[in-house]
Structure 1
Amino acid sequence: MEITLKSATLFTAIILSGLSAGFFYAWQVSVIPGTKKVMDPTYMETMQHINREILNPSFFLIFFGSMIVLAISTFQQYGSGVTFWLLLGATVTYTLGTFAVTGMGNVPLNNELDALKLTKMSALELAEFRQYYESKWNVLHRMRTIFSVIAFVLSLLAAFFAAKNI
């Protein structure tokens, strides 16, 4: 079996989109249930720290890399039938359902949270903001988790069809 640039790009797209889907899924089933059990000040402070620390090269590689390499792989597969269409679906799904939801939903909420001076807020203010933030943030996170998993599955299917030359 010959490894081509096209197959290496597809393999990279699958790895990155799988890492992204795994990251969001793991967060959905571990961090979210855990943070629901802590008091408001702890939740708010923890989320501020997490939102600051997530901005790192490792996260950027899988978050941006998935979208970029899926798009490159889609372009490379143009004219290859089912493989192209599955990759196009994966790219659009990831771009709109994961990347755009994060950029237009989770990030603005994170910025609002980051701007707060938690030590200057009353217990009532903390509770009210948490309710506002957590309810919206978790819905958006569930959406991006679902869409990142769909994008990963579509890219896996694309590899299957690419191997069959369909």
Structure 2
Amino acid sequence: MELSIKSFILFGAIILTGLSAGLFYAWSVSVIPGTEKLTSRIYLDTLQNINNAILNPAFFLIFFGSVVFLSIASIYQLHTKSITFWLMLTATIFYLLGTVGVTALGNVPLNDQLKILKLTDLSTDKIEAFRTFYETKWNRLHLIRTIFAVFSFVLVVLALFFQTKKL
């Protein structure tokens, strides 16, 4: 029974972390290049709408579910002090700090600033200035969290291989 729960948790960590890393990567290679072509007013309006739309149960499940499953999978390995434990622990820390932490302390505050922006009340110059400020910082932070999410995913997949060798 313990083996099946442990396997389920590890499988859940792989799936959720993979979905999260995939979402961030896909955003990097599709949405960012696409929005770079938009005028500043349309860019900011589009990002306001996207930021509202992404706050949904499906996103929260993969984003926060990854932390939960990675953490539990690490705890299951704690007593072993094996390579699987260290891979899981590193994946958890990297995801928590590099993905969730960067998002919470970097991207979300920028999104909050964008959310309260009333585009109809701003001059073209102010819109251009805010876009430059927002887009530059947000994309840099997004790149960081994407790298950490992908790295966490790779580590948890490696943990599966080492775990499977012990079964």
The alignment of Structure 1 onto Structure 2 pairs a total of residues equal to 165
1:62-112 Cα shifts (integer Å, max 9, x gaps): 000001110011001112301110000000000000000000000000000
User: In terms of mean alpha carbon deviation, does 78-87 or 45-54 score higher?
Assistant: 78-87
- The two structures have a TM-score, normalised by structure 1, of 0.97
The DSSP-based 3-state class of the residue aligned with 1:164 is helix
User: So what's the TM-score if we normalise by structure 2?
Assistant: 0.97
Does residue 52 in structure 1 map to residue 19 in structure 2? no
Structure 1 residue 165, shift from structure 2 partner: 1.5
Paired letter, 1:67? V
Equivalent residues in 2 for 1:30-109 (5 A)? 30-80=30-80, 81-109=82-110
1:20 corresponds to which residue?
20
Unaligned runs of 5+ in 1: none
For 1:47-67, what per-residue CA distance to the aligned partner results, in whole angstroms no more than 9, with x for missing partners?
A: 000001100000000000001
Residue 19 of structure 2 aligns to a residue whose secondary structure is helix
Q: Provide structure 2 residue ranges, at least 5 long, that are not aligned to the other structure.
A: none
CA RMSD of the aligned region, Å?
A: 1.2
Structure 2 Cα separation of the partners of residues 86 and 4 of structure 1 = 20
Mapped partners of 2:4, 2:86: distance in 1 = 20
Distance in 1 (CA, whole Å) between partners of 2:10 and 2:83 is: 14
